[in-house]
């Protein structure tokens, strides 16, 4: 059996596969021509490209070259009032025509073009205008190696999306947040094995709000491209990300916030804990277009190193073409504070539990709220670090609020 091609040859082989007649496609209802044209024109990026220098994308191409599994149909439940259509359903057609790919710049996100061509399973989730849903929309595995979730939050609607990409080689989550709508997007990425990449693309219209919190572990190769476009006046984006990596885990987060309209606000807060021989990358780009006056943008990223061999690359980038803006960014890398550890230990808290307390406090700066606590405990902390029975607001309420 011939060895599978590596590096640039893997990219070439994959291009040939994608552009050839033989590419298997499952979701037939979507237009793949734009994606094919993009790949025919630009090819696929290789490890040497600036945007890919921290992630060996050749490993992902090898995974993409392997025959992908046939999609299976998974049950997806959505709360009352929310519509769900698979891409192949006729009912999905008008939404696909109007919205599919509108939040995605394929020139910037070439793997999204690969996803489009190889797409195995796609769903449209529509929250109709004015509809406010208390229960979150939960989307885990939707049954294919290449997945696309198109979430449309219509004007004035409000919802939360909780998604966990588990086995997909590439997942696109495309969010259209229309005028005055609100979307709270929570992504939980457990530790994985295989190379996995994905794109979260959100278009946020006038006075709309998109919030993302991302709680992630790494995998052999994992890259999250996150691209938020503030397209209407007064739109807001609040992005929080917390990750913990160990051993040889790899996590590359490439985040872009585009301020295209005036008076928009964006906040980005990232916290990472990196040990073993793991590698964490955060590239945070804030782009403010010429017409986007009175933009207010900030980005902070802090990392804690847990071992001498761990690697952290943190790069904020500002690209500003307007002259009336407020922009700030900051990045730090350090280690857990010995004085804090001693303070905990001097109160009888063992070292592991003390680490857990401090790590929890650190990661909470990026993702807060009670929803995050159980995920932090289960997904991020080890058993020894997970402090038992943290008093909650609910406990305090049973004793009566004294405030």
Partner 1 sequence: MPLLDIEDLHVQVEDQVILGGVHLTVAPGEVHAVMGPNGSGKSTLANVVAGRPGYEVLSGTVRLAGEDITHASPEERALQGLFLAFQYPIEIPGVSNMEFLKAAIDSHALARGEGAPSAAAFIRRARATAERLGLDAGFLKRGVNEGFSGGEKKRNEILQMLLLEPRIAILDETDSGLDVDAMQVVAAGVNDFRDTGNAVILVTHYQRLLDYIVPDHVHVLAGGSIIRSGDRSLAQTLDRDGYGWIEDAC
Residues that bind partner 1 (CB under 8 A): 337-340, 342-351, 353, 357-358, 360-365, 387-392, 395-396, 398-399, 401-403
- Contact of 309 with 279, CB cutoff 8 Å: no
Q: How far is the CB of 352 from partner 1 (least distance, A)?
A: 10
Least separation in angstroms between CB 377 and partner 1? 12
- Quote the radius of gyration of the chain (alpha carbons, Å): 21
Using CA atoms of 292, 155, 225, 284 in order, give the dihedral in degrees to the nearest 10: 30
d(CA 43, CA 13): 11
Shortest separation between residue 378's beta carbon and partner 1, angstroms: 17
Backbone angles phi, psi at 184, to 5 degrees: -110, 115
Q: Are 136 and 163 in contact (CB under 8 A)?
A: no
- Comparison of 248 and 351: residue with beta carbon closer to partner 1: 351
Contact predicate 357/384, CB 8 Å: no
Which residue lies nearer to partner 1 by CB, 206 or 385? Answer: 385
Residue placing its CB nearer to partner 1 in the complex, 317 or 395: 395
Pick 103 or 380: Cβ nearer partner 1: 380
User: Do the Cβ atoms of 156 and 129 come closer than 8 Å?
Assistant: yes
Tell me how far apart the 2 most distant CA atoms of the chain are, in Å.
72
The distance of closest approach from Cβ of residue 365 to partner 1 in the complex, given in angstroms and rounded to an integer, is: 6
Smallest distance from the beta carbon of 331 to partner 1, in angstroms? 17
Distance of CA 363 to the CA centre of its chain: 16
- Residue among 36 and 364 whose Cβ is closer to partner 1: 364
Nearest approach in angstroms of CB 341 to partner 1 is 9
Whole-angstrom Cα distance, residue 282 to residue 316? 8
Smaller CB distance to partner 1: residue 217 or 360? 360
């Amino acid at each position: 059996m011939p060895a599978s091609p590596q590096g640039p040859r893997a990219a070439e082989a994959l291009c040939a596969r994608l552009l050839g007649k033989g590419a298997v496609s499952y979701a037939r209802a979507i237009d793949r021509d734009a994606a094919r044209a993009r790949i025919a024109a630009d090819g696929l990026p290789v490890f040497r490209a600036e945007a890919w220098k921290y992630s060996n994308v050749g490993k992902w191409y090898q995974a993409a070259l392997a025959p992908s599994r046939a999609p299976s149909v998974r049950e997806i439940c959505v709360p009352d009032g929310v519509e769900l259509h698979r891409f192949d359903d006729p009912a999905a057609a008008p939404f696909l025509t109007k919205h599919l790919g509108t939040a995605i710049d394929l020139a910037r996100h070439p793997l999204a073009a690969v996803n489009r061509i190889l797409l195995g399973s796609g769903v449209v989730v529509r929250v109709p205008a004015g509809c406010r849903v208390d229960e979150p929309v939960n989307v885990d595995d939707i049954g294919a190696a290449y997945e696309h979730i198109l979430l449309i939050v219509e004007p004035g609607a409000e919802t939360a999306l909780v998604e966990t990409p588990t086995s997909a080689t590439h997942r696109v989550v495309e969010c259209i947040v229309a005028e005055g709508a609100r979307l709270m997007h929570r992504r939980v990425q457990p530790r994985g094995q295989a190379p996995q990449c994905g794109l979260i693309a959100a278009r946020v219209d006038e006075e709309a709000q998109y919030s993302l919190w991302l709680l992630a572990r790494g995998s052999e190769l994992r890259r999250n491209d996150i691209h938020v476009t503030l397209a209407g006046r007064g739109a807001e984006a609040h992005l929080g990300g917390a990750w913990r990596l160990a051993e040889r885990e790899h996590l590359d987060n490439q985040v872009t916030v585009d301020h295209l309209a005036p008076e928009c606000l964006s906040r980005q807060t990232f916290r990472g804990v990196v040990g073993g021989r793991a590698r964490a990358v955060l590239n945070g780009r804030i782009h403010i277009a010429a017409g986007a006056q009175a933009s207010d943008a900030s980005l902070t990223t802090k990392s804690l190193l847990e071992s001498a061999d761990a690697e952290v690359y943190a790069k904020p980038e500002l690209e500003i073409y307007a002259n009336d803006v407020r922009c700030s960014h900051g990045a730090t890398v350090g280690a857990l504070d010995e004085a804090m550890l001693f303070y905990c230990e001097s109160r009888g808290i063992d070292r592991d539990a003390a680490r857990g307390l401090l790590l929890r406090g650190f990661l909470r700066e990026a993702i807060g709220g009670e929803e995050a606590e159980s995920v932090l405990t289960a997904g991020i902390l080890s058993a020894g670090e997970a402090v038992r029975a943290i008093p909650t607001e609910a406990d305090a309420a049973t004793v009566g609020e004294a405030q």
